[in-house]
Structure 1
Amino acid sequence: MQRQRPLWMLVPGGVLAALLIVVPLAVAVQISLLDLDQYSFRQWLGAPFVGVRNYHEALTRSPLAHSILVSTGYAATVTVVTLPLGVAAALATHNRFAGRAVVRSAFLIPFVLPSFVVGTLWRIILQPAGVANRVLDPLGVPTGLWLNGPRSFWALVIVQAWAAWPLVYLLTLAGLQTLDRDLHEAAALDGAGWWAKLRYVIFPCLRGPVSLAMLISFLHDINNFALPFVLFGVPSPHDVEVLPVLTYIESFQNFRFGLSAAMAVLSVALIAVPIAVYLRAVKLDVGEEARTT
């Protein structure tokens, strides 16, 4: 006979989740169905109801589709760039050596710096007469405007990758700490070299932490507002018109609160896709492990 589970213990967490997630999302959906602007904002509940007109305008008459492509493209590129960097850094600092604590702490500096500081620093570096062009020009690398035009996209990728790779490093390092030492000893007894050890012992055990790192990194990049806002300002260049900045412009510059709320709801639907894929993959892995045991 199964003992009765104390489901009442879930009430505090459920109430907190409702207050922090469900209620704001419900308010956003409500605002997205209204013609709410600077004129009707004081009569919020009395604003004209327009149904899905804001969604239709967002998808057909605004730069939303372009912003989604830019956001997903740059987030995916940053994730691909930061993945090998973070994994390599975690493998390099996993074993003990003199000064390991200092190196581990130094690797976390780009991630713990506020986005405002990172954006301001790199904005100075990427100026036409900044450090970047002065270093690259003698090397024969084409230089020019990094904060406007086509190169602005790659400037955003470089800066975001510099700031985000320690997240992958940290999660991968945490996964390495959970590996059983018996696996390393068994691989050594079998005469496995370093590459075989990585490929057949370490990498399979890191599949979960690395997948989680990729998901969190992608979601963090696609939702990052502060870094593009500080780096490029508003209105941002067309090549880096990411979704959070576009939503900000529609809300706090154009005062189209209903339209910006519709964009925000659509962005929630966008980020729900990779989350659903990840949760589905985790569920399949858990089911497979249950069948094998």
Structure 2
Amino acid sequence: MSVKNRFGRVKDTLSTPIERLERLFNSDTNKDNFAGLLFILPNIIVFSIFLFGPVLFAFYLSFTEWNVLAGEPEWVGLDNYIDILTPPPWEDGWAVLDNPTANLWWHAVIKTSTYTLGVVPLSISGGLCAALLLDRDLRNKRLFRAAYFMPVMLSGAVSAIIWRWILNQDGIVNSLLEPIGLAHNWSGDPSTALASVMLIAIWGGIGFNMIIFLAGLQNIPEELYDAARIDGTSGWQRFRHVTWPNLQNTYFFVIVLSIIGSFQVFAIAMTFAEGGPYYATTTIAVLIYQEAFQHGSMGVAAAMAFILFSIVFVFSYYQYRVRGNGEVNY
């Protein structure tokens, strides 16, 4: 039985759920959608069990006080978040800058922000310059590309071990600098340890960014460069008015990915100096690890992880909303 509603459309009034399902799967489009859903269903199940489920459990843990070896979690509400964020960093004249133990969380945030400000611009600009050079017709171009990309194939821990050996008190760098009186314990001095970690990250990040930029450069139509040459433009003008506008989406992707990765840096800092000396390389991820597995404070570590997630999410969402998918302007 059907009647017309106030818009003049026919509406089933006595249709049963079974009849609705039959009509749903009688359509060819709906059949294809259902078949596709069946294909991705195993992935959804695995994602829910092994990823989404642990995330929800960690969110619950962030409101508890729990040690893995000490029984059941004890509900403490927002106490973990309050303890992490207080005292604020500006209290006592920014004492956290000189005394990390005043609040390790804010100290880690400052160190991670410093790391980000140093690594992201240099790794992106270095990757772009390398991509522009290797996009030309050069001899042994593939060899150079492989050489630049080789650090990316090494894990962060392996890279940190190699550079710790190079920058050690008795390392290769000091053996070269010692004759001119510039030898220094680069990894053991709190004033240079973070800079050493930044050097490792830049060394490894340039190759990855280069590959992304190369992909973007190769998608730019050659006709645009030909038209620009006919107009008598210089190399800089072609870069400014042709290359750069067409790389905007690529650049947006690289900068967002680089900043997210820099806020999550762990393997390099942990392997290179284990957060030291004197908390000099204690980034947010390193501090979370130390709280969870060295101090046994799973609840506090989970709360820190979700604060970090909030920072990364807000930044990524803001960048997406501001940048969006704008059109290229020449």
Q: Tell me the TM-score range normalised by the shorter chain.
A: 0.7 to 0.9
For 1:142 and 1:124, locate their aligned partners in 2 and report how far apart those are by CA, in whole Å: 14
Match of 2:168 in 1: 127
Contact 1:90 1:169 in 2 (8 A): yes
Shift, 1:19, TM fit: 4.3
Higher alpha-carbon deviation: 239-248 or 9-18? 9-18
Highest relative contact order (Cα 8 Å, sep 6+), 1 or 2? 1
Is 1:206 equivalent to 2:232 in the alignment? no
Question: Looking at CA atoms only, which structure, 1 or 2, has the larger radius of gyration?
Answer: 2
After the TM superposition, which residues 164-179 of structure 1 pair with which residues of structure 2 at under 5 Å, given as runs? 164-179=205-220
- Please give the alpha-carbon distance, in whole angstroms, between the structure 2 residues aligned to 1:82 and 1:93: 16
The residue that corresponds to 1:270 in the other structure is 311
Asked if structure 1 preserves the Cα contact closer than 8 Å seen for 2:190 and 2:277, the reply is: no
CA contact (8 A) 1:34 1:50 kept: yes
Aligned with residue 65 of structure 2, among 29, 32, 35: 35
Q: Does 1:58 align with 2:87?
A: no
Decide whether the 8 Å contact of 1:167 with 1:217 is kept in 2: no
C-alpha distance in structure 2 between counterparts of 1:163 and 1:284, whole Å = 29
Deviating 4+ runs (over 6 angstroms): 3-6
Of the three residues 98, 105, 108, the one matched with 2:146 is: 105
**Equivalent-residue separation in structure 1 for 2:180 and 2:151 (angstroms):** 26
TM-score by length of structure 2 reads 0.78
Matched, 1:25 2:55: yes
1:43-82 map, 5 Å: 43=72, 47-60=73-86, 62-82=103-123
Identity of aligned residues (%): 23
2-structure distance, mates of 1:253, 1:283: 42
Deviation at 1:27, TM superposition (A): 1.1
The answer (yes or no) to whether the contact 1:248–1:260 under 8 Å persists in 2 is: yes
SS in 2 for 1:238: coil
Q: Contact (CA 8 Å) 2:161, 2:272: kept in 1 or not?
A: yes
**For residues 71-109 of structure 1, what are the alpha-carbon distances to aligned partners after superposition, in whole Å with 9 as ceiling and x for unaligned?**
122022100111211001000011222211111111101
Match of 1:189 in 2: 230
Q: 5+ residue gaps in structure 1?
A: none
Q: Which runs of 5+ in 2 are unaligned?
A: 1-27, 88-102
Specify which structure has the higher proportion of helix: 1
The 3-state SS of whatever aligns with 1:119 is helix
The separation in 2 between residues aligned to 1:234 and 1:209, in whole angstroms, is: 33
TM-score (norm 1): 0.87
Aligned counterparts of 1:212 and 1:20: Cα–Cα separation in 2:
28
| Structure-1 separation of matches of 2:207 and 2:120 | 12
Distance 1:241 1:142, change over 3 A: same
Deviation at 1:39, TM superposition (A): 4.4
Q: Is the 8 A contact 1:115 1:226 kept in 2?
A: yes
Contact map agreement 1:167 1:213 (CA 8 A) in 2: no
